[in-house]
Amino acid sequence: EVQLLESGGGLVQPGGSLRLSCAASKFTFSSYAMSWVRQSPRKGLEWVSTISDNGRTTYYADSVKGRFTISRDNSYDTLYLQMGSLRVEDTAVYYCAKVGYGDYGCDYWGQGTLVTVSS
């Protein structure tokens, strides 16, 4: 069964930075695009970013463009999200997800890591 394990969440001050990681296993990581999706407390899902299987193409939501960077290391089956200039409204559970269908259909999700932006 596909496994996705996020890490790196925590408490950070506004304006600060944080890097999330997602360790993938039990599938051929380098063959699939990957996404980050977040969920603010008691709110809905928000797509954050997607990266192609080879890492050459990236897409971002307008809300994070210019502040967040998605990347991957196919040698280590790991997905990353570098977050900078963090704002209170970035507080959320961040999920990594495997894109298994089409360009954005996520067939497997991790359990999420909580990022709290607060002074």
Partner 1 sequence: SYELTQPPSVSVSPGQTARITCSGDALPKQYAYWYQQKPGQAPVLVIYKDSKRASGIPERFSGSSSGTTITLTISGVQAEDEADYYCQSADSGGINVVFGGGTKVTVL
For partner 1, the binding residues (CB under 8 A) are 35, 37, 44-47, 50, 59, 61-62, 95, 100-107, 109-112
**CB nearer to partner 1: pick between 27 and 109:** 109
The minimum distance between CB 102 and partner 1, in angstroms, equals: 5
**CB nearer to partner 1: pick between 3 and 17:** 3
The minimum distance between CB 9 and partner 1, in angstroms, equals: 14
**CB nearer to partner 1: pick between 7 and 111:** 111
The minimum distance between CB 103 and partner 1, in angstroms, equals: 6
3 state SS for the chain: CCEEEEECCEEECCCCCEEEEEEEECCCHHHCCEEEEEECCCCCEEEEEEECCCCCCEEECCCCCCCEEEEEECCCCEEEEEECCCCHHHCEEEEEEEEEECCCEEEEECCCEEEEECC
